[in-house]
Amino acid sequence: MEETIDIDYSRHYSNWHKDTQEHIESTRKFYDSKILPYFPPDKSVAILDIGCGMGFLLNALGHAGYKNIFGIDVDESQVKSCQQKGLSVSLVKDTVAYLKENRGRFDVIAAFDVLEHIPPEAQILFIRAVHSALKVGGVFIASVPNATSVLASRNRYLDYTHYVTFTEVSLDFVLYNAGFRKIAIHPMEYVRFSFTITSLIHFLLLKFFRTIRRLEMIAELGTTWGKKVPLSFNLISVAEKTSTE
């Protein structure tokens, strides 16, 4: 009989996220500017956040006025953190089973930095379960690491539990084969700039090296693909369920 090991994912998560009021406020501002524009304006929609972590997205959604919001996660310490904040979050070890038990319940399902943690052979089945849990007209909003980013290799191996990174083509492929037909994929950046000298230097350096990277893409892929390949650190997709099939 093989020995099983319980993984404490908070060890990795704590490198970037702290359960402090200052960090909660900082992440809320990030979600307000970068993520919430992808959510429907109707504040009564039912929203599920898969892999909700310490509840930063849920906090931002609640602050923005969304009232029907839920989260699930496989990590006990992070679920406990959410519950201590008064968020509606449950510990769910089998996400696919949970989604199948909640067919047609949600208007929006979010999965930020989740799909890359799922073995490739299980990703389409996982997203099909997401599709089943959405109402017709509902949307699946997901972010994944971008395989074309200059830091793609670091992003792939930075997290011990990552299996893959995605291109805009491979992400579209898994979403389509999971049943989604109306799919939009956009570049997603975690970096935010402010009106300081340090931030200005950061902005200029990023623009400079991204320009070089763009020229490299054009040289390697030609102008048709080279001009449009996303170079951002992550990708974000918005896929709408258009039918029950």
The residue among 92, 22, 30 whose CA lies nearest residue 57 is: 30
Query: pTM (2 decimals)?
Result: 0.92
Q: At what angle do helices 120-133 and 168-177 cross, to 10 degrees?
A: 60
DSSP characters for 132-144?
Answer: HHEEEEEEEEEEE
Q: What is the pLDDT of residue 6?
A: 76
Q: How far is CA 2 from each of CA 5, 118, 122, 201, rounded to the nearest angstrom? A: 10, 21, 22, 52
The dotted CATH code for 10-195+232-240 is 3.40.50.150
Q: What is the pLDDT of residue 83?
A: 93
Task: In whole angstroms, give the CA distance from residue 82 to residue 19.
Answer: 10
Q: What is the pLDDT of residue 5?
A: 75
Domains of the chain, residue spans: 10-195+232-240
What are the phi and psi torsion angles at 79 (to 5°)? -60, -40
**Per-block mean pLDDT, blocks of 10 residues, the chain (245 long):** 73 82 88 94 97 94 96 92 93 96 97 96 97 97 96 93 96 97 95 88 94 96 95 97 83
Answer positive or negative: Cα dihedral of 90, 96, 100, 103: positive
Q: What is the pLDDT of residue 1?
A: 54
Q: What is the pLDDT of residue 193?
A: 84
Question: Where are the alpha helices (H) located in the chain, listed in sequence order?
Answer: 10-13, 21-34, 56-63, 76-84, 95-101, 120-133, 152-158, 168-177, 197-226
Cβ count near 218 (within 10 Å): 15
